[in-house]
């Protein structure tokens, strides 16, 4: 909470500073129109920044007291400070990049004349994208950064524990998965920000339960167009969900993890809050066919609690369904979490249930799969998801009165 309030406070302070510079530039150019509006907005931002910074200090009185002992124990305090920082940095990296990008974009146009601001961004983005698209990293994973991935893996579990409360990975079986075989982990449901999709394989609980199995996460292509996020997910070894990427990753790493419900499932996340419904969209079958063709077992994964972390500030399911169908992305999409107005996730327990593998049909590698064989695997996969939900629902108090809904259209 200290890191979040500090981040908000300094972000508002920076915004107010930029506004002051902009006011000075307006005055210097003799453009005094709407200065009253800017002064009011700037003053409000300054006041809010001081409020958040003050709250952060008040909330960490104990840390301040412990800091007094730093004179006597400087090394211990430095180590503790580093540890505290490391458990917040992964959260900031996962949830703030989009906001940082748009803040920088708007700040540039607020301070610099539009023509110059446009030139800066167009030129900068051309250099940035051209220097990072070589070799199609979204398909090949060539930008994966092992050192960064190792650091993130070490700090992800402590960060989630500190922010969420508890994070558990449970295997609903007693037969170990064979690392020499191929697996397609199907993750459900698709929340507004599915933490487990790209990051479940990095959790110590997953690695302990399934040693030697390192699924390549496959995510929506939009993440590879968004500045900052595209670098972060690339460094973590995440790739784009596409047929050729699926096949390549399965050949190279023996397993992949994806969210089959996709954005068709995402637009129904609000029903958890409005009608206490846990919605699964089971109509997609492409991942089943690919798994069968390449001799990979399907492994169902069910996430409890993830839907509670964020909600869409403007929940208009009909409009979001229409825009998703027409544009390929649900609009409006403005996620908020803790304190009802920030992009940070709300405090909630997380539990990931990994089911027993569903064996593929006995066909030659790359051979044709019949519709019936796909239907059988698909049915068994979602029956397993439903069974796990009812089995583990009693152990997750937040979902005591939440109804599982399998959409049929």
Burial class of residue 64, CB neighbours in 10 A (0-12, 13-18, 19+): exposed
If one compares 35 and 105, the residue with the highest pLDDT of the two is 105
Kindly list the domain boundaries of the chain, sorted by start residue. 1-86, 137-406
pLDDT tens readout for residues 252-283: 999 999 999 988 898 899 899 999 999 999 99
pLDDT tens readout for residues 397-408: 999 999 999 987
* Mean pLDDT in residue range 49-53: 48
CA dist., res. 99 & res. 193, Å (int) = 14
Count of H helices and E strands in the chain? 18, 11
Please identify which residue in the block is written with the tokens 């950064």.
145
pLDDT tens readout for residues 103-129: 888 888 888 888 888 888 888 888 889
CA dist., res. 211 & res. 201, Å (int) = 11
Q: How many residues does the chain have?
A: 409
Residue among 204, 190, 126 nearest 158 (CA): 204
- The full 3-state SS of 153-216, as one line of letters, equals HHHHHHHHHHHHCCEEEEECCCCCCCCCCEEEEEEECCCCCCCHHHHHHHCHHHHHHCCCCCCE
Please identify which residue in the block is written with the tokens 């064996």.
359
- Among 46-50, 54-58, 103-107, 288-292, name the most confident range: 288-292
């Amino acid at each position: 909470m200290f890191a979040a309030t500090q981040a908000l406070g300094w972000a508002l302070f920076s915004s107010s500073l930029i506004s002051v510079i902009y006011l000075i530039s307006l005055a210097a150019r003799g453009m005094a129109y709407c200065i009253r509006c800017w002064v009011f907005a700037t003053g409000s931002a300054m006041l809010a920044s001081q409020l958040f910074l003050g709250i952060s200090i008040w909330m960490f009185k104990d840390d301040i007291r412990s800091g007094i002992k730093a004179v006597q124990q400087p090394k211990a305090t430095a180590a503790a400070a580093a540890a505290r920082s490391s458990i917040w940095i992964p959260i900031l990296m996962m949830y703030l990049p989009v906001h940082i990008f748009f803040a920088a974009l708007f700040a540039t146009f607020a301070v610099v004349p539009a023509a110059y601001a446009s030139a800066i961004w167009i030129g900068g983005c051309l250099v940035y994208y051209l220097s990072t698209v070589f070799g199609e990293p979204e398909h090949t994973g060539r930008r994966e950064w092992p050192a960064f991935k190792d650091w993130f893996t070490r700090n992800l579990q402590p960060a989630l524990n500190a922010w969420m409360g508890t994070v558990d990975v449970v295997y609903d079986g007693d037969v170990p998965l064979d690392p020499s075989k191929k697996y397609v982990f199907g993750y459900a449901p698709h929340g507004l920000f599915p933490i487990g999709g790209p990051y479940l394989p990095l959790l110590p609980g997953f690695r302990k339960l399934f040693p030697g199995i390192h699924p390549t996460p496959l995510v929506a292509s939009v993440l590879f167009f968004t500045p900052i996020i595209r670098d972060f997910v690339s460094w973590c070894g995440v790739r784009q969900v596409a047929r050729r990427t699926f096949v390549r990753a399965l050949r190279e790493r023996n397993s992949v993890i994806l969210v089959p419900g996709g954005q068709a499932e995402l637009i129904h996340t609000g029903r958890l809050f409005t009608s206490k419904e846990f919605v699964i969209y089971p109509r997609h079958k492409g991942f089943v066919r690919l798994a069968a063709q390449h001799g990979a077992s399907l492994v169902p994964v069910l996430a409890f609690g993830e839907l509670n972390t964020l909600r869409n500030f403007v929940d208009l399911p009909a409009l979001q369904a229409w825009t998703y169908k027409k544009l390929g992305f649900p609009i409006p999409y403005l996620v908020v979490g803790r304190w009802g107005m920030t992009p940070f996730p709300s405090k909630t327990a997380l539990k990931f249930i990994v089911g027993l593998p569903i064996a593929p049909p006995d066909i030659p590698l790359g051979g044709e799969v019949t519709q019936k064989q796909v239907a059988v695997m698909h049915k068994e996969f979602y029956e397993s998801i439903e069974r796990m939900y009812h089995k583990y629902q009693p152990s997750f108090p937040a979902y005591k009165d939440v109804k599982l809904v399998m959409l049929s259209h």
